Amino acid sequence: MKIPTRLYLSEDEIPTSWYNLRAFMKDKPEPMLHPGTLRPVTAADLSPVFCDEPIKQELDDSTPFIVIPEGLQSFFRAYRPAPLIRAYFLEKELGTPAEIYYKFEGTNTSGSHKLNSAAAQAFYAKAQGLNALTTETGAGQWGSAMAMACAFYKLSLTVYMVKISSEQKPYRKTLIETYGANLVPSPSSTTEAGRKILAEDPGSNGSLGCAISEAVETAVKTESCRYVLGSVMNHVLLHQSIIGMETKAAFDKYNVKPDVIIGCAGGGSNLGGLIAPFMGERIENKNDIHFIAVEPASCPSFTRGRFAYDFGDTVQTTPLVKMYTLGSGFMPSPNHAGGLRYHGMNPTLSKLYHDGYLEARAETQTDVFNAAVYFAKVEGILPAPESSHAIKVVIDEALECKRRGDKKVILFGLTGTGYFDMSAYAAYNANTMTDYIPTDTDLTKGFASLPNIPQNR
């Protein structure tokens, strides 16, 4: 069959269930622990912070498919299915015998896949009768997505944006405000957590960990309000499984079988969503796909982190999560553009990596932008810096196929567009972009913040 450039699904082919990858794992990820009791957290522990239905999803590691509610499906129809594109131009330019496909999640206004979980979490908050939500954002994709979703479902939203990002990306701030959200640069003096961090370091650039602490505190203290998170948690990966489900449906329609699947990884939401149904089959020995996670060399949780229980936030108030982590005290370099700055990694992906189902590679920023600009010129789309980590490795793999005469089928996740990352592109164009690779001393400092509990010894 001739493969078109865009492997579209019709509206009635959009999947109506999410894929709960944990249900397919023989060895499940270890449970989240209550930091006081060190016992597995319960729904009751989580309910002051999170919305009810996402909590159920977070704790459910046995239901294989979870139905997407109709009120959410109708929102999805406004921007999905996301295009699955055959990279004919890239293949030709590289002269590779490999077939390259990418699932492009950047055609919605938030500019990335983040809207998939933002819509779900706003939908559930509304269904639960809440009025308000809080969240944090780093590079701004998640904050933009939540602002869009809250405008649509008519919920009030406060976004704590990592301070250095809000300064480097004033237009992200404008976008979030245009959708009606209240944006607060973090650390701020509006919360105890923020004041504590500012007292220790008045010039703090902020971090996702700080912003999470502020957003959680505000959610807990506000009437009819909860906190929402855009990555790391298992329910977020569940929502993002729509990416993989759509991709698999389109591949099945055109009888394409991927050999390699590549995704960028910060907290893991895109990677986990993209690979979900393929990894489920891999675990059941129904395929032999090679999965590659690509992370920034500046924040290398998979490749240089520890597999340990850690807090999700800097002030250490969240449940403990068993994951690959650099320590909640790890501070990424401010010269790192884009997202993928989180100190930890989703626990399901961490477990799969630990058990050998997943390879991980770390790439430097300038290598990533080389790949981004090359891709933009050849395929037309200006990629997000995050997505470009995957592109770098796709090009490496495709050139390796060329050397070996190997006709592999490569799939990658093009998670978003770079339209709000133009200051980073400007720095790249002006040759002023620099790389940062943490020294062993930097890492040791981060690891010192790991909780000293029995499971970590």
Tokens 């320590």, residue located:
327
Select 246 or 313, whichever has its Cβ closest to its own copies: 246
Q: How far is the CB of 251 from its own copies (least distance, A)?
A: 17
Q: How far is the CB of 86 from its own copies (least distance, A)?
A: 10
Select 183 or 229, whichever has its Cβ closest to its own copies: 183
- The footprint of its own copies (CB under 8 A) covers 4-6, 8, 10-12, 74, 77-79, 85, 88-89, 107-109, 111, 148, 151-152, 170-171, 174-175, 177-180, 373, 376-382, 417, 419-420, 422-423, 425-426, 428-429
d(CA 265, CA 285) in angstroms, rounded, equals 24
Phi, psi of 182 (to 5 degrees): -95, 115
Select 6 or 257, whichever has its Cβ closest to its own copies: 6
How do beta strands 320-325 and 359-363 pair? unpaired
Select 12 or 200, whichever has its Cβ closest to its own copies: 12
Distance in Å from the first CA to the final CA of the chain: 55
Select 121 or 191, whichever has its Cβ closest to its own copies: 121
Q: How far is the CB of 53 from its own copies (least distance, A)?
A: 22
Select 174 or 224, whichever has its Cβ closest to its own copies: 174
Select 192 or 252, whichever has its Cβ closest to its own copies: 252
Please, are residues 345 and 331 in contact by the beta-carbon 8 Å criterion? no
Select 302 or 369, whichever has its Cβ closest to its own copies: 369
Q: How far is the CB of 278 from its own copies (least distance, A)?
A: 25
Q: How far is the CB of 365 from its own copies (least distance, A)?
A: 16
Q: How far is the CB of 6 from its own copies (least distance, A)?
A: 7
Select 237 or 382, whichever has its Cβ closest to its own copies: 382
Q: How far is the CB of 372 from its own copies (least distance, A)?
A: 9
Q: How far is the CB of 151 from its own copies (least distance, A)?
A: 4
Q: How far is the CB of 228 from its own copies (least distance, A)?
A: 18
d(CA 85, CA 99) in angstroms, rounded, equals 11
